[in-house]
Amino acid sequence: MLMIPLPFLPAAALLALAVWLGIRYSEPLPAHWLIAFLCGLALQFVLIGARYGYGLEQILAVQHLTGVLIPPLAYLAFKNPPVSLRVAVHILPLAIMWLVVHFATHFVDAVLALITFGYAASLVATGLGGNEALSWAPLRHGPILKMGLWATVVTLVLSGATDLVVAVDFLTTGGAHTKSIAAGASLAGIALIALGLVYALRSGRRRQPVESSAENQAFVERLSAELDRNQLFRDPDLTLARLAKRLSVPARQISQAVNRSTGLNLSQFVNNRRITEVCNRLMTSEISVTNAMLEAGFLTKSNFNREFRRVMGQSPSSWRTAERRKNAPGPLAGDSKIRR
């Protein structure tokens, strides 16, 4: 019976995710670098599984060359630059690794660790830069991309640390503990990423303290007016970069002003305006909840229902029923049909 190495399972999941992104989000979310990163990571898992599962040690040289592509692809996935000659600088790690593999084999793992740590540090700087770091993405994708960025940072740091430990192991024992190190790193990675996602989800539910000022409040009012002008909030693919261009201000200023004035992130702020529009439509017409949702700029029911509950505290249908009962004219005092 043919054994399927464990690394093949995450490889299959990553490829499925890459295909899904390519089919569903290639237009609204320009994700070509993200897809390339997921495919590269999947390939690396396949090579690891083939090497340790089937004993194909000749794969090692290829594994080093493909492995060094993962950090730059991870960086490009979240910076999302246009394909140009400037991107070619990220081929440099591959050239360095080719030289090390052929002329300084003993330093392969150490060099790979340094390259990985370097790109992890660049992603940390991107993540700390706030929402404007992902200003190229539609607002609705911002939270999940931010979680993905930090999960990728954790993965790169763990990968770099593993490469350093493997390098030490080869120097001291000739690589006697490599398999155990790889297995331990995989388990640690799963645990750390799970903890990171839990933390991100919990922190995402917390409303930030409001530290408003007259200047921030005035800017938020200006932003609200811009959203209403030409019904800009209805665009489901609205991005921070687009808002910054229309207001002629840095993207960071928009995020900071909204957060300090309202305690919300920009995506929540825009969704609040959309929810207001949905409520107006539900109260003044017989429009269906689904059509009201789509007209206001939401694309998925799951996101709409979650945001509606966040703002209004109940489901759209329940809110509509309750509001209509509250605003319904009462029966006349002399109406003989009143049941006592």
Does residue 205 carry a pLDDT above 60? no
Q: Are residues 113 and 167 in the same domain?
A: yes
**Residue 293 CB partners (closer than 8 Å, separation 6+):** 278, 301, 304, 316
Q: Are residues 96 and 52 in the same domain?
A: yes
CA dist 7 and 45 (Å) reads 5
The pLDDT assigned to 190 comes to 57
The pLDDT assigned to 333 comes to 40
Does residue 275 carry a pLDDT above 50? yes
In a domain? residue 3:
no
Domain-terminating residue out of 172, 205, 238: 205
Q: Are residues 312 and 280 in the same domain?
A: yes
Q: What is the mean pLDDT of the chain?
A: 82
Helix (H, G, I), strand (E, B) or coil at 138: strand
Read off the tokens for 41: 């990571």
Q: Are residues 113 and 25 in the same domain?
A: yes
CB 91 within 8 A of CB 65: no
CB 38 within 8 A of CB 17: yes
The pLDDT assigned to 336 comes to 40
* CA distance to 40, 77, 147, 228, per residue, from 66 (Å): 7, 16, 25, 48
pLDDT tens profile 109-152: 889 999 999 999 999 998 887 666 778 777 777 777 888 888 88
In a domain? residue 128:
yes
CB 221 within 8 A of CB 171: no
CA dist 97 and 103 (Å) reads 10
Split at pLDDT 50, 70, 90, the class of 194 is: low
pLDDT tens profile 79-99: 888 878 889 999 999 999 999
The number of domains in the chain is 2
Angle between helix 266-284 and 142-173 (nearest 10)? 150
Q: Are residues 99 and 144 in the same domain?
A: yes
Which residue is associated with the tokens 């660790």? 113
Split at pLDDT 50, 70, 90, the class of 293 is: very high
In a domain? residue 86:
yes
Q: Are residues 140 and 30 in the same domain?
A: yes
Read off the tokens for 126: 């991107």
Q: Are residues 58 and 200 in the same domain?
A: yes
CB atoms closer than 10 angstroms to residue 145? 20
The pLDDT assigned to 271 comes to 93
Q: Are residues 297 and 199 in the same domain?
A: no
Read off the tokens for 285: 């017409």
In a domain? residue 170:
yes
CB 247 within 8 A of CB 220: no
The pLDDT assigned to 61 comes to 82
CA dist 232 and 28 (Å) reads 16
Considering only 23-37, 186-200, 287-301, which range has the smallest mean pLDDT? 186-200
Helix (H, G, I), strand (E, B) or coil at 315: coil
Note down the domain range covering 274. 214-327
Q: Are residues 319 and 280 in the same domain?
A: yes
In a domain? residue 333:
no
CB 73 within 8 A of CB 44: no
CA dist 240 and 246 (Å) reads 10
Q: Are residues 30 and 95 in the same domain?
A: yes
82-86, 129-133, 215-219, 267-271: range with highest mean pLDDT:
267-271
- Please, what is the Cα angle at 333 between 331 and 335, to 5 degrees? 65
pLDDT tens profile 42-65: 898 888 888 877 888 888 888 889
CA dist 131 and 143 (Å) reads 9
CA dist 51 and 46 (Å) reads 9
Q: Are residues 220 and 144 in the same domain?
A: no
Q: Are residues 179 and 78 in the same domain?
A: yes
Does residue 202 carry a pLDDT above 60? no
Domain-terminating residue out of 154, 178, 205: 205
In a domain? residue 120:
yes
* CA distance to 61, 71, 168, 172, 183, per residue, from 176 (Å): 18, 27, 11, 9, 13
Q: What is the CATH number of the domain that holds 244?
A: 1.10.10.60
CB atoms closer than 10 angstroms to residue 325? 8
Does residue 330 carry a pLDDT above 80? no
The pLDDT assigned to 73 comes to 94
In a domain? residue 334:
no
pLDDT tens profile 143-183: 778 888 888 898 888 888 888 888 888 778 877 777 677 66
Domain-terminating residue out of 144, 173, 205: 205
Considering only 2-16, 223-237, 248-262, which range has the smallest mean pLDDT? 2-16
In a domain? residue 235:
yes
